[in-house]
Amino acid sequence: MADARPRVPIKSGYFTVPGDPAAPPDIVVSRCEDCGEHFFPTRLVCAKCLSRRLTTAHVAARGTLYSYTWVHLPLFGSTRIEHMDGYGVGQVDLPEGPRLQVPLAGKQAEYRVGMPLVGRLEPLKEEGGADVVILQFRPAA
């Protein structure tokens, strides 16, 4: 049985938190209605063609690893993803175009530049009876 506590995002507006804990999250992006370019996070003006006709869209949390590192310094604000072996940070290119900087799950040896990754929600801490979740990427199964 999954944890019954409600889940809330660490900050709203970046990713969705599905009611079903088994369902993967989506990334919240802006799509330009004039040139088709996608942006993360959402914005008011298209950075490519300066159009103001942007709409908010949800895209799947999956992409390819552009680059990554393993950090051996404390991560601001975290409690659970810090451990003795450091923690991973990656730049992930979504197929729609945006590049995201995100925490990586697991161990450094699991990662290679160019590999496919998927995003999952990870509980960071409990607050007010809810699980505060972050978006974390890991190798696609």
Partner 1 sequence: MEKVAILGVGMIRFGMYPDRTVSQMGCEAGLSALDDAGLSFRDIDAVYAGHIFMQTMAGTRVVKELGLTGVPVQRIENASATGTCALREAYLAVSGGHYGRVLVLGFDKMTQVMGSAPDPKDMDEAILPAAFFAMWATRRMHERGTTPEHLARIAAKNWNYGALNPMSQRQAKEPVTPEKVLGSGMVAWPLTKMMACPIGDGAAAAVVCRADLAKRYRPERPVIRIAASHLGSEKYERGHLFMGPVVGPAQMSRDAAKDLYEQAGFGPEDIQLVQVHDAFVIEELEYYELLGFCREGEAEKHIEAGTFGPGGKVPFSTDGGLIARGHPGGPTGLAQIWETTLQLRGEAGKRQVPNARAGLCHMMGGGSVCAAHILVRE
CA distances from 56 to 32, 39, 81, 122 (A): 9, 10, 30, 24
Q: Which of residues 52-71 bind partner 1 (CB under 8 A)?
A: 66-71
| Interactions with partner 1, residue window 78-137 (CB under 8 A) | 78, 86, 89-91, 93, 97, 99-101, 103, 108, 113-114
Distance CA 120, CA 108 (A): 17
- Residue 135 CB, nearest distance to partner 1 (Å)? 9
Q: Which tokens sit at 86?
A: 């450091």
In the chain the first and final C-alpha atoms are separated, in Å, by: 22
Name residues contacting partner 1, limited to 27-46 (CB under 8 A). 39-41, 43
The residues pairing with 119 across neighbouring beta strands, listed in sequence order, are 137
Interface residue list for partner 1 (CB under 8 A): 10-11, 14, 39-41, 43, 47-48, 66-73, 75-78, 86, 89-91, 93, 97, 99-101, 103, 108, 113-114
